[in-house]
């Protein structure tokens, strides 16, 4: 009997490893560059095995894949296509929680020919967002309605009581991934017209956002929303928006960081003794006078007493503390520093917010607005909500595939009932479930007064 191979032992891996060891009869091999991390996840389970792997070493990776029935790729997304090609060669299915890249989509025909499933985007965002949205979209469509407005916003944040630093953020997953998202271009549909936002202006496009029972947050666009019009079958929709939720202040600070040039990905040598203050000074025009904070404020177009400067100072980015990296990109220097300053303390909870809003119309009745909200919290001294919501959908899908209850081939995302119905049902059983409200959009006396 072949095994299930988990590539990666990072911050979100524990729930899927424990689920597969406890809920299936397969041997589970966890492969990581740092074998001690894999060993900690396996925890001495008799059907678990921890191995060391360098994902840049194709021969090492292939030697593991050829023994696997299903490969779960939780390594950086840049490796997924290479993993998928090896899996097709050896007849193994692949599950990832990452977006489908064009190169991955090109593997659809080879995968179908080999009888192999390449199931992607089955995490939280992407993942639970798709599945929960499609449940409502199919309900509306089956009742004869048409979706005219759709927005979906998601964020992983500290719970309200754990929001204890001026950035309004703590890291429950890859810090590099969080910061890297700030480089993405974005597109969405507003009143039937495409809105395009280049990466450097991403954080300048932000809006206040209320979440029922929690209060005020901020949203900004999440990548390109337009392909999901076709994916969700929403041809004719007038408004289509996918966004990221943050506490107020995050977007202004990241915009300042982007304007400074700290999201640059080009590696550079860091001279011994270089401090954070001198490193940041290198991104500024040479000046004969003025403090570092004043020069930064001038560069990014704010006053020296702006909260952005206070956040940079709190994080130690204006300090004379030496930078530990010897060679790194500005983005990595930033991400590594923020990770050291913004971890979760023992017992603190993270919080996932996922909120959909639909407006739908019918030929024979008034339009309606439907709001679906998921708020999930991490377990103190246990798994984070981010880890659970990212890896449990993938874990459930793997179990269903092993049990031949999800028989698919080719490249898929979880937007069909055969995938999303059993996964969402099991997530609901463990408390990961939405609250849905709906009301009719009826004209009132003030509408009549304007006619």
- Which pair of tokens denotes residue 114? 């080999």
CATH number of the domain residue 142 falls in: 3.30.360.10
Of 25, 125, 224, 376, the catalytic one is 125
If one counts every other C-beta atom within 10 angstroms of the C-beta of residue 177, the result is 12
C-alpha span between 76 and 177 (Å, rounded) = 9
Could you tell me the residue range of the domain that residue 81 belongs to?
Answer: 3-125+386-429
CATH code for the domain in which residue 103 is found: 3.40.50.720
Q: Residue 365: name the closest of 151, 150, 146 by CA.
A: 146
Residue 450 has pLDDT above 50, yes or no: no
Q: Structurally, how many domains does the chain consist of?
A: 3
Report the distance separating Cα 418 and Cα 78, nearest Å: 28
Same domain, 369 and 244: yes
C-alpha distances (whole Å) from 355 to each of 168, 197, 230, 251, 358 are 19, 22, 20, 19, 10
Q: Which contacts of 366-369 are long-range, i.e. CB under 8 A and separated by 24 or more positions?
A: 366/440, 366/441, 366/442, 367/148, 367/440, 367/441, 368/145, 368/438, 368/439, 368/440, 368/441, 369/438, 369/439, 369/441
Q: How far apart are CA 286 and CA 69, in angstroms?
A: 59
- Is 108 annotated as catalytic? no
The first and second tokens of residue 281, run together, are 């000074």
DSSP type of residue 321 = P
Cis peptide before 104 (omega within 30 of 0): no
Q: Say if residue 148's pLDDT is above 90.
A: yes
pLDDT band at 286 (very low <50, low <70, confident <90, very high): confident
Per-residue pLDDT tens digits for 206-244:
999 999 999 999 999 999 999 999 999 999 999 999 999
pLDDT band at 180 (very low <50, low <70, confident <90, very high): confident
Please tell me the predicted confidence (pLDDT) of residue 451.
43
Distance CA 237, CA 133 (A): 14
Cα–Cα distances (Å) from 142 to 147, 346, 416, in that order, read 12, 47, 14
Helix and strand numbers, DSSP H then E, in the chain: 17, 18
Same domain, 247 and 353: yes
- What is the rounded CA–CA span in Å between residue 88 and residue 324? 41
Residues 172 and 248 in one domain: yes
Has residue 202 been placed in a domain?
yes
Would 67 be classed as within a structural domain? yes
Please check whether residue 403 lies inside any domain of the structure.
yes
Is the same domain home to 134 and 107? no
Average pLDDT over residues 184-192: 97
Looking at the domain assignment, is residue 355 inside a domain?
yes
pLDDT value for 288: 66
Tokens of residue 98, six digits: 């990452």
119 found inside a domain: yes
Q: Residue 35, Cβ neighbours under 10 Å: how many?
A: 15
Whole-angstrom CA distances from 333 to 22, 201, 269, 307, 329 are 39, 22, 11, 21, 6
Which of 328, 359, 374 lies at the terminal end of a domain, its last residue? Answer: 328
Same domain, 167 and 194: yes
**Residue located via tokens 């048409």:** 146
Same domain, 133 and 234: yes
Q: Closest Cα to residue 63, out of 78, 45, 83?
A: 83
Return all residues near 241 (Cβ < 8 A) that are at least 6 apart: 150, 151, 152, 153, 188, 189, 190, 221, 225
Do 100 and 163 fall into the same domain?
Answer: no
* pLDDT bracket for residue 182 (50, 70, 90): confident
Q: Is residue 157 part of a domain?
A: yes
DSSP string covering 370-431: EEEEEEEEPPTTS--HHHHHHHHHHHHHHHHHHTTSS---EEE-S-SHHHHHHHHHHHHHTT
Long-range interactions of 275-283: CB distance < 8 A, separation 24+: 275/319, 275/320, 275/321, 275/322, 275/323, 276/316, 276/317, 276/318, 276/319, 276/320, 276/321, 276/323, 276/337, 277/317, 277/318, 277/319, 277/320, 279/323, 279/330, 279/333, 280/312, 280/317, 280/318, 283/330
Whether residue 328 has pLDDT greater than 50: yes
The pTM of this model reads 0.93
Same-domain pairing of 293 and 365: no
- 400 backbone φψ class: left, alpha, beta (φ>0; ψ -120 to 50): alpha
Q: How far is CA 67 from CA 29, 61, 86, 118, 362, in A?
A: 10, 11, 11, 17, 52
Same domain, 298 and 403: no
pLDDT tens by residue, 253-263: 999 999 999 99
CA dihedral 315, 316, 322, 328 (to 10 degrees): 40
In the chain, % helix, strand, coil (3-state, to 5) comes to 40, 25, 35
- Mean pLDDT, rounded, of the chain: 95
User: Do 224 and 305 belong to one domain?
Assistant: no
Q: Residue 373, by phi and psi: left (phi above 0), alpha (psi -120 to 50) or beta?
A: beta
Mean pLDDT of 102-116: 98
Angstrom distance (rounded) from CA 377 to CA 373: 13
Asked whether residue 236 is domain-assigned, the answer is yes
Asked if 383 contacts 350 with a C-beta cutoff of 8 angstroms, the reply is no
Q: What pLDDT, on the 0 to 100 scale, is given for residue 172?
A: 73
Q: Same structural domain for residues 105 and 143?
A: no
Task: State the Cα–Cα distance between residues 243 and 439, nearest whole angstrom.
Answer: 23
Express each pLDDT in 35-90 by its tens digit.
999 999 999 999 999 999 999 999 999 999 999 999 999 998 999 999 999 999 99
Rg of the chain (C-alpha set): 23
pLDDT digits (tens, 9 = 90+) for 410-449: 999 999 999 999 999 999 999 999 999 999 999 888 775 4
Q: Helix crossing, 14-23 with 35-42: angle to 10°?
A: 40
């Amino acid at each position: 009997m072949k095994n299930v191979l988990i590539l990666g032992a990072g911050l979100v891996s524990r729930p899927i490893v424990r689920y597969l060891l406890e809920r299936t009869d397969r041997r589970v091999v966890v492969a990581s560059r740092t074998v001690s991390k894999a060993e900690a996840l396996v925890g001495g389970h008799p059907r678990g095995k921890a191995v060391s792997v360098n994902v840049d070493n194709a021969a090492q990776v292939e030697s593991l894949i050829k023994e696997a029935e299903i490969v779960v790729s939780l390594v950086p997304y840049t490796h997924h296509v290479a993993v998928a090609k090896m899996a097709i060669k050896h007849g193994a299915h692949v599950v990832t929680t990452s977006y489908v890249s064009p190169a991955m989509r090109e593997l659809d025909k080879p995968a179908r020919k080999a009888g192999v499933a390449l199931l992607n985007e089955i995490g939280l965002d992407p993942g639970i967002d798709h599945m929960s949205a499609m449940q409502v979209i199919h309900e509306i469509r089956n009742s004869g309605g048409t979706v005219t407005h759709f927005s979906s916003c998601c964020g992983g944040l500290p719970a309200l009581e754990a929001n204890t630093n001026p950035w309004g953020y703590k890291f429950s997953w890859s810090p590099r991934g969080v910061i890297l998202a700030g480089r993405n271009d974005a597109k969405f549909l507003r009143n039937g017209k495409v809105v395009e936002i280049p990466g450097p202006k991403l954080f300048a496009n932000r809006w206040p956002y209320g979440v029922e029972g929690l209060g005020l947050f901020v949203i900004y666009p999440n990548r390109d929303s337009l392909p999901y019009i076709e994916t969700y079958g929403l041809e004719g929709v007038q408004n289509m928006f996918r966004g990221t939720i943050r506490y107020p202040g995050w977007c202004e600070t990241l915009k300042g960081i982007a304007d400074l040039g700290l999201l640059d990905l080009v590696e550079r040598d860091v001279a011994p003794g270089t401090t954070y203050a001198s490193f940041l000074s290198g991104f500024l025009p040479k000046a004969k006078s003025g403090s570092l904070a004043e020069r930064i404020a001038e560069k990014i177009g704010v006053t020296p007493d702006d909260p952005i400067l206070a956040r940079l100072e709190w994080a130690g980015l204006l300090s004379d503390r030496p930078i530990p990296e010897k060679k790194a990109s500005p983005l990595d220097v930033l991400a590594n520093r923020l990770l050291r300053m913004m971890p979760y303390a023992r017992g603190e909870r993270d919080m996932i917010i996922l909120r959909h809003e639909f407006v739908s119309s019918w030929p024979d009745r008034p339009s309606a607005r439907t709001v679906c909200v998921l708020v999930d919290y991490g377990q103190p001294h246990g798994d984070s909500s981010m880890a659970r919501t990212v890896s449990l959908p993938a874990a459930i899908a793997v179990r269903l595939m092993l049990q031949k209850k999800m028989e698919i081939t080719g490249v898929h995302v979880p937007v069909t009932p055969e995938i999303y119905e059993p996964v969402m049902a099991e997530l609901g059983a463990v408390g990961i479930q939405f609250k849905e409200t709906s009301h009719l959009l009826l004209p009132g006396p003030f509408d009549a007064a304007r006619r």
